[in-house]
Amino acid sequence: MKMKLTYTLALMTLSLVIISCGEDDPEPLQSEVQAVLLAGEKGSSKSWKVTDINYQEGTDPIQNFAFDPCFLDNIYTFRNNDAQDYEATEGATKCDSIDPTIIESGVWTFTTDGKMIIVLPDNLTYSYNILFAFLTYPATVVELTDTSLKIRMNLVDDGINAVYNITFVKN
């Protein structure tokens, strides 16, 4: 009987050791890590400005977009909330005095692996300053740090492949 009790206690102890050796804190999904870099911790937001956009059509040389200062001071704010929403606002300078302050807004998400971002505008103005309304395609995340975001979009129009590279810096 004593041997049976010792064996049972040893088996229970071993079971508890095995159960307690499991992971306490599972690794977050890469999309969650990317969300924090883009928009801050849950309940926070971060703002960004475009510093460069270039594109290449087919095998043509890469072209840089020439922007008015009124576009380059626009602010893109991404929120890490349940809706994962964003809005773009005019910066200090409006390109057209009749443009509203908020020029576009919508929602964003990362793929589970964090390698692609999808930004879907749902409230647009008729300003020429809107960015994501023209580029409503999933974008490859080339780089995302606490202070820099680089994305690449591949578009096909009339059989011609165009690649757009957009660089943001934290505002």
Dump pLDDT digits (tens) for 82-141: 999 999 999 888 888 888 889 889 999 999 999 999 999 887 666 667 787 766 678 999
- On whether residue 9 sits in a domain, the answer given is no
Residue range 39-82, pLDDT digits in tens: 999 999 999 999 999 999 999 999 998 888 888 899 999 999 99
pLDDT at residue 65, as a whole number: 85
Using alpha carbons, select from 118, 122, 52, 137 the residue that is nearest to residue 87. 122
Q: For residue 114, give the CATH number of its domain.
A: 2.40.128
Q: How far apart are CA 33 and CA 9, in angstroms?
A: 43
Contact present, 38 and 149 (Cβ < 8 Å): yes
pLDDT (0 to 100) of residue 128: 65
For residue 96, the enclosing domain spans: 31-170
CB atoms within 10 A of CB 121: 21
Taking the C-alpha atoms of residue 154 and residue 142, their distance in angstroms, rounded to an integer, is: 13
Domain count, the chain: 1
Asked if the structure places residue 63 within a domain, the reply is yes
